[in-house]
């Protein structure tokens, strides 16, 4: 029975992936509206850098944020001035040894649009996190798990998810690392877990004495992997094989190759101080890995408006806490949007926070469709709306300015960031 259900899930996934190309997403049979439109991106240039005191790393990870600006609040926010944007887009960089710097930036080639691109949609009130029947898919099949786009999903050692955006960079949510006042515990020795379906030693013989110290260091931060390493160090080959099975490699469940993070960039707009609340629209961060990976990553794209998306539909995969050791994929339609945020009711649990939200659109002047990251899943949020607490799931949109900033973090300059 379970095999039959898994087969049905895989058939449904294939249908979902090819649905835009078939013209079924919006029921019109046309595809001319669903194209990646390249936009000229403003320039982010570094002006000055300052050394900052080392943080205490005392904050506790919190996957549900309180006292954030909700839908109605977002629509009433004034358009930031150029000086405000310079301040909000300046960023902190924290290195693996705990030192940190502040980089002040300038924004060039920006035209402020007072109207923005906000569209009005009827807000849908639903339940929280899992809305009725759970519509998430656990990915078991190696054909999906080890191939694009699922192989771009990564696990962050503080308990969140992320997505590969270059050979050395991962995009995630800022609050996975910082609570608005201080860096969370565990972010000083931050690790990124890349999926693999085989543990070390599966399918080949390998002497324990020859296993590199670097590999042991990279894996020791993950509790499950660390437990396996300790068991292997105490026992013989039979215990090694049992430990490998416990991590799930033999039944298709992913284990993780853990890589150390060299540095982390977080926009200043995330930190408290501009108002009494967390600036949710800047809830994103980029992690630079100490060593590059050799996997296919997902490119960034500038977030289109809802009406330019097939079925207003988004997709993302992460490592939800209630499905330990599983990669969980979901999709849903966006219910509402502001200039910086998507409001939706994709089924999600803590642990999926920081996942890269993507969609599939047609490339200009080509018949090929391409997936790009358009937002970062910030998670389930409670907000104060007219004095009442309401909840929703939210994703931070990649606007032209955020695209320029993230691209600058990846390349170290703006030469490759003119269009997005």
Per residue in 320-336, pLDDT (tens digit) is: 888 887 888 988 888 88
The pLDDT assigned to 148 comes to 86
Please state the domain count of the chain.
2
Same domain, 178 and 218: no
The pLDDT assigned to 246 comes to 38
Residue 419 burial (CB < 10 Å; 0-12/13-18/19+)? exposed
Same domain, 269 and 389: yes
8's CB contacts (< 8 A; 6+ apart) are: none
Same domain, 293 and 361: yes
Residue numbers of the domain that contains 218: 198-251
The pLDDT assigned to 197 comes to 64
Alpha carbon distance 268, 282 (integer Å):
8
Same domain, 124 and 265: yes
Q: What are phi and psi of 213, to 5 degrees?
A: -65, -35
Same domain, 178 and 238: no
Beta partners for 255?
196
Within-domain flag for 418: no
Closest of 163, 173, 223, 231 to residue 201, by C-alpha: 231
Alpha carbon distance 39, 420 (integer Å):
6
Alpha carbon distance 227, 245 (integer Å):
13
Same domain, 179 and 208: no
The pLDDT assigned to 123 comes to 40
Q: What stretches in the chain show pLDDT beneath 50?
A: 1-5, 7-8, 11, 15, 18, 20-32, 114-128, 202-250, 273-275
Within-domain flag for 69: yes
């Amino acid at each position: 029975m379970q095999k039959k259900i898994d087969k049905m899930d895989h058939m449904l996934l294939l249908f979902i992936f090819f649905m835009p190309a078939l013209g079924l997403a919006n029921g019109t049979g046309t595809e001319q509206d669903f194209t990646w439109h390249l936009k000229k991106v403003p320039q982010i240039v570094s002006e000055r850098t300052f050394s900052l005191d080392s943080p205490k790393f005392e904050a506790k990870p919190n996957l549900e944020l309180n006292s954030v600006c909700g839908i109605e609040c977002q629509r009433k926010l004034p358009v930031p001035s150029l000086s405000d944007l310079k301040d909000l887009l300046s960023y902190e960089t924290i290195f693996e040894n705990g030192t940190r710097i502040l980089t002040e930036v300038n924004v060039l080639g920006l035209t402020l649009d007072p109207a923005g691109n906000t569209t009005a949609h009827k807000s849908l009130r639903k339940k929280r996190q899992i809305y009725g029947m759970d519509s998430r898919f656990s990915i078991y099949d190696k054909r999906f798990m080890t191939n694009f786009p699922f192989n771009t999903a990564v696990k962050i050692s503080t308990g969140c998810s992320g997505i590969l955006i270059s050979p050395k960079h991962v995009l995630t949510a800022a609050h996975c690392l910082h609570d608005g006042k201080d860096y969370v515990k565990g972010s000083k020795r931050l690790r990124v877990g890349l999926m693999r379906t085989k543990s070390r030693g599966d399918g080949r013989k390998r002497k324990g004495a020859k296993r590199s110290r670097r590999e042991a260091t990279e894996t020791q931060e993950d509790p499950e992997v660390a437990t396996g390493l300790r068991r292997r160090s105490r026992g013989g080959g039979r215990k090694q094989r049992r430990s490998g099975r416990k991590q799930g490699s033999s039944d298709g469940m992913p284990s993780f190759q853990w890589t150390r993070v060299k540095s982390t960039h977080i926009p200043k707009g995330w930190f408290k101080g501009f108002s009494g609340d967390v600036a949710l629209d800047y809830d994103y961060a980029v992690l630079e890995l100490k060593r590059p990976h050799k996997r296919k990553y997902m490119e960034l794209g500038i977030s289109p408006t809802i009406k330019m998306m097939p079925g207003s539909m988004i997709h993302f995969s992460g490592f939800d806490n209630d499905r330990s050791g599983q990669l969980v994929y979901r999709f849903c339609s966006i219910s509402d949007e502001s200039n910086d945020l998507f409001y939706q009711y994709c089924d999600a649990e803590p642990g999926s926070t920081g996942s890269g939200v993507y969609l599939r659109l047609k490339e200009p002047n080509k018949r090929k469709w391409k997936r790009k990251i358009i937002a970062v899943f910030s998670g389930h949020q409670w907000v104060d709306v007219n004095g009442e607490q309401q909840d929703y799931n939210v994703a931070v949109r990649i606007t032209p300015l955020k695209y320029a900033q993230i691209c600058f973090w990846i390349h170290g300059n703006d030469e490759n960031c003119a269009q997005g």
